[in-house]
Structure 1
């Protein structure tokens, strides 16, 4: 019985080896060079991404100002965040940029994409639209501050059309809406470029068939452009979700317009982490900062996963 079982096992292995196609010399060479090429990138990824996240997770259970000895706190940092109204405000502002800013970005980007698709020479316009992506957000903040200050160009133009008492654009009550608007302005060019790359893959015959059926511009967009570029829309939605957790420099610059330190009503999750770790006004606490960063990261991961689930569609192959 044992001999027959060993024999049957050997026969099965021989049968599998016979069915397996013989690899070419190029495939064998690729297998040999796989790990030597992958290892440097894998080491850098572990050192600069995985290790900091693990260290932050461990640090989030301690109190530490960066100088004295760490003090274990357990889950006290997380409980403190749940009771902190400033952190709650920061999450709300991040959600505001995510939802309101995201809707505006995609509406404007798709509108520009539809217009660009009808243009014969659209390459130059795409370069112009993409240019703001290359500019640091600090520049946008400074530029917007110059435009919207009380003696700026915007109020100067409003005065010439009869508006004697313009809104206080950079006041604390309006500052968050200005930040959302500038974020949309800075990101529209990038998402227009990405969406346009997906729309250009749609065969022109689809639009011609829709026009022959009497479809107008809105119907062509609804039934041709949007469904056939849905994969690109999903990727852009995930990109936007990830980028919202990193909105930092813009808020920091606008905070300078109201007295140096940004008002807590304009905090985002990234700015809250920064102020917790490096603030000169209050005691620094890297434990609280790490807990806030991990909570924000977890929130973004959950939103990104939900978006992938909700926006999932069957992939479409163009012949």
Structure 2
């Protein structure tokens, strides 16, 4: 295990968490599930699937079941390229101190704390994953020591899955006809991940009486006067275009605005500001429309 620990230091980022002492042996219950356990150290995680740009929190509990104060630590080793920020906090007891060191292309956060006799120490480390992290599965090695000896964990290694984000941009154009407006709704995936289950709803002018030429994956709600189109899968760098025609009532007059908005889809969109587009036409009469 000592050789394994050195290997992980060279290969990635070591995030070590100081224990926060819980006096009298009283331990605050961990809200997150325990994912790894050794003789004296337990490791819980807020989740082992996280989106790029998101955070993951590890909770470490160190139990000193001896009759004397003992130095101990616990945490995880992670790849240095994956994280942009790390912070430590106490669950109970004194605030842990993260000591940053670097070498061999890696960055480590080590913090040591003396755990009093017959007590348990609990603290957290929260790491923010880089927004441009490559989606995939990354190895996580639970780590800890007690009284100068490295602990053996079950399991010895965990998998942290990073999911990507997809920046979708919605566009809407309008072309006038005789008593009608033909709309072209465009959804562009600026990546980096593939978008799935995307839905874009175009709310039509209130003077709309019917909609024709609907694509197979679009549905018209006559009560809401809205057309919703779905795209099951949209790869990075591609676009989906849907065109349909709204027929306008004969008494229409003045401004005829329409708005297209992304209403569903995965994964998370890092820039929701471009999820909406508007196209406005003008009715001189119900038949004479300009866009």
Question: TM-score, normalization: structure 2?
Answer: 0.21
Bigger relative contact order, structure 1 or 2, given CA contacts below 8 A and separation 6+?
1
- TM-score (structure 1 length as normaliser): 0.20
